[in-house]
Chain A
Amino acid sequence: MSDTNSPGQPDSGNSGELSWPEYLTGGESRGAVPPGAQAAEPEGHAAPHRVIGTPPPAVARKLLAADGGGISRETVRELPAEPDDPRRAKRVEKLVAACFLVAGLAGLAFMVFYGTIGVGSITNVLHSNLALGGSMALMFLLLGIGTVLWVRHLMPTVELAEDRHPMAATPQERAAFKETFQEGAEASQFVKRPIIRRSLIAATIPMAVAPIFLLRDMGPLPGTSLDTTVWRKGLRLLVYGTGRPISAAEFNSPGALISVGPEGYLDNDNAMAKAAVSLIKFRPGELVYGPPARPGGPSVRDKVVPNWTVDNIVAYSKICTHLGCPAALYEQTTHRILCPCHQSTFLATEGAKVIFGPATRPLPQLPIGVDSEGYLIATGPFNEPVGPSFWERS
């Protein structure tokens, strides 16, 4: 490691004596005092060596005297005891005290408000929040203002300069460190006895890997569970919110979209996270149909599957194929389904194909029919995985 710090280090003579870190052992001035001056003094009682930037004259004189004459530190005064402008200080003193007093009163008020304003209703909570927050803010604000005034106008202005020293240790220190380290390494026999070294390393690998095994039970393996939903042939479509089945005759206003879920699963978040479905009613002629689907075959992209609809009603998965948000916004006039999360846009009249945004696949279509009572049912499961892409999907 080469370093440009090494040349010209003034402190190479004495710093070896001081232990690290310097500010815990009182060596702040190491290197700043000419070696000769310090040699005369007992360790640790060296005169503090500071350079004043813009000192009040009195202080500067004292410091100069201290520097020049080697006066012991007790007589050195770095911080003046009196404010710069005593008359102003007297005025500000009262102001500071007033700030602190009112801050104290605000703190008291906080406690009184806590005791007197209840919660438990929206209006109460609003009042309580206003009273507690307001008094608390006032308390802290005044404490802050008082303290700043105090520092600015009561404490005398000082500017001290402290010397810096290169972060790098001296070459001697480094050499000493290296020696100590090597002695330790040799005493440990670690270098000389490779069998110990290697067997220890061999043992630490399982030690590091074992905890990872412990995490295995955090969850089940995905298996093929992402490929399917709870939808199966014959399950009724229940309206989300009311939980009632719905018939094609009831759902007759074109342009409407409602959320439905499978019978028996509406309150099951895990099931609904994949099985939620948007049911959309169209005017005759609006839907663009593709060729009929072969049972079990792949869905036909970009076209509505005709034998999966009932009376111009289509069921699409509500789970966005981008990252799984509910694709919940529907624009009737343009037949666009918009996902509010990242604005993937699907064209409902054409098999929910993607017309904008980061999603890559259309929303899967659920095959629907009607049961003997006229209610809408699924005539089969989705024939592809719903929701976001995953590695195992093909």
Chain B
Amino acid sequence: MSVERALEGVGTFLDDRLHGARGVRVLLRKVFPDHWSFLLGEIILYSFIILLLTGTFLTLWFQPSMTDVIYHGSYIPLRGVRMSEAYASTLNISFDVRGGLLMREIHHWAADLFMAAIMAHMIRVFFTGAYRKPREINWLIGIVLFTLGMFEGLFGYSLPDDLLSGAGLRITEGILQSLPIVGTYLAFFLFGGPFPGHEIIPRLYILHVLVIPGLILALVTVHLFLMFHQKHTQMPGKGRTNTNVVGSPMYPYFMAKTGAFFFFTFAALALAATFAQINPIWLYGPYNPVAMSAGSQPDFYMGALEGSLRMFPAWQWVMFGHTWAFNVFVPALLPLGIIFGGAAIWPFLEQWITGDRSEHHLNDRPRNAPTRTALGIAMITFYGVLWAEGANDIIANHLDISLYLTTWIARVAWLVAPILAYIITKRICLGLQRKDRHLLEHGVETGIIRQLPGGEFIEETRPVDEEALAVLTSRSELPPLPSLEAAEGEVPPPGMRGALGKVRERLYNVVTESVPLPESHGNGHGNGHALEAVGADEHGQGSLPAGTGTEQRGGQDQH
């Protein structure tokens, strides 16, 4: 009981000063929907927190300095070797600080997990359509976070100043130099003169431990605030509509679950750091501009950039008295530009094409947006080809084929594979939709065979249950294009005229291609069904139009 009294005391103290009771009560009961894929975002957050913790530990010993020293530490093979202080201090962390190696490895694994989770999370958000209005801002923040994470990681693994990371810096310098007009200046300003100079490690250090983590932290905060404020999306299911959010309350359920998840993330990283060695810089040796070993690879999230540089043909010309290094700046900027730029404009492009400006809180099942899903898979394939090409020497080695053949395959696959992926994925989605339709029309097969009086055998079916019904019938209904609605001979409304209107109409037909639901379930009434089934109130219905086709059409006329 005294615990209760103490808590009450603290609560009273705070509420007297902050007026917290009212708001915090609501917060405690805030509903969080459940789905395994919603955990991906949490992995990002927790690996970032682990990066902050382990990174701070590393700063206690790491010396961001390129001053030459002769090594005298515990790692015998390198004793007497000339190296930078940065490299020597990383050896020191690994061999002379208790727990130092563990923390270094957790830090590195956490960086990889961070980036992997960002990718997986982005993929989840894309394929479920969770980026749609009102969440476009968070989608854009996510893309910025991805980019920042790439730079943060690149700068981080450059800090130890080992042979491998030095090559990464050299490539960075080469890419900068290739940029038209400003390139040489940028390279000289970043490196404080010619490569490698003595400035780059201290400069990367402050970017790595302060500037970029600060930006990431700020953006993550805004990201989470927006997620909180707009409430989480949910997957379709019984009782779940576009106007509610169904799940368990933050306190104690979500808190406990997410706490457990933090522990699991930490445990997984500790296990990886214990049993799977990552970045053994003492084997690579200190950086020197003369040596380089075969099979050197950057961290996985830089692989696509690496592959793109490897694959691009040697196109370079001297024009107007200047060198245009297309062979460098195009592969450095274009493919990732297509992916990030494409991802950034897609939500707005989709809105323009479909004319759908309503809010979406109920996620799409990927099959129910065949074009979007196919585009996403095409993009992943595009990225995947570049990524695989980034390790083509290793692939060639393992498969025992010629290195040059792998590059030629990548050069072709870069263009062809995404198109194939698009076509195949769309087919699969439409096929799955047909299967769903079949289920709705004919019910679930029970495995019971019956003989009809006429002697014919049939398999008995039963109608799908409520939960499945809600899932199967969940569709985001799109408003019709104004010009498609306009009767014969009528003048199409503004926005649908001219060439742009034609393009929009074409794209509309592609984007909305779908297998329709059977008559009795059409127009998103499935949600209504499910709602009635659990006796939920109809009150909120219609305040958010999306997902309820007829109402939405009414609202659509406004623009």
Contacts and interface: CB of A to CB of B under 8 A. Distances in A.
B9 interface: no
A26 to B, nearest CB: 4
Interface stretch (A142-150, A307-315, A367-375): A142-150
Q: How large is the interface on B (under 10, 10 to 19, 20 to 34, 35 or more residues)?
A: 35 or more
B178 A26 contact: no
Contact of B243 (A163, A328, A354): A163
A148 B174 contact: no
Interface string A203-244: 000000000000100111110011000000000000010000
A83 interface: no
B29 A48 contact: yes
Interface stretch (A171-179, A189-197, A271-279): A271-279
A342 B188 CA distance: 23
A122 B556 CA distance: 70
Contact of B31 (A54, A134, A162): A162
Nearest to A134: B274
A379 interface: no
Most central of B31, B134, B229 by chain A CB within 10 Å: B31
Most central of B99, B275, B294 by chain A CB within 10 Å: B99
Q: Is the interface of A mostly helix, strand, loop or mixed?
A: loop
A140 B544 CA distance: 43
B249 A166 contact: no
A148 B239 CA distance: 26
Given A164-B242, A323-B309, A358-B327, A3 B558 contact: yes
Given A8-B543, A141-B264, A159 B247 contact: yes
A119 B96 contact: yes
A181 B454 CA distance: 79
A279 B60 CA distance: 44
Contacts of B177: 226, 388-391
B346 interface: no
Contact of A28 (B26, B288, B542, B555): B26
Interface stretch (A17-25, A247-255, A281-289, A294-302): A17-25
Interface in B334-357: 357
A357 B175 CA distance: 16
Interface in B519-559: 534, 536-537, 539-540, 542-545, 551-552, 554-556, 558-559
Contact of A221 (B185, B190, B270, B328): B185
A105 interface: no
A271 to B, nearest CB: 9
Given A114-B98, A164-B245, A25 B185 contact: no
A293 interface: no
Interface string A318-346: 11001111101100000000001111110
Contact of A4 (B267, B331, B555): B555
Interface of B: 22-23, 25-27, 29-31, 68, 74-76, 82, 94-102, 105, 134, 167, 170-171, 173-175, 177-185, 187-197, 199, 228-231, 238-239, 242-249, 252-253, 256-257, 259-264, 266-267, 270-271, 273-275, 287-296, 306, 309-316, 318, 321-323, 325, 327-328, 331, 357-359, 361, 392-393, 403-404, 407, 534, 536-537, 539-540, 542-545, 551-552, 554-556, 558-559
Interface of A: 2-11, 21-28, 31-32, 34, 44, 48, 51, 53-54, 78-79, 114, 117-122, 125, 128-130, 132-134, 136-141, 143-145, 147-148, 150-151, 155, 158-167, 215, 218-222, 225-226, 240, 259, 261, 267, 269-270, 272-274, 276, 318-319, 322-326, 328-329, 340-345, 354, 356-361, 387-394
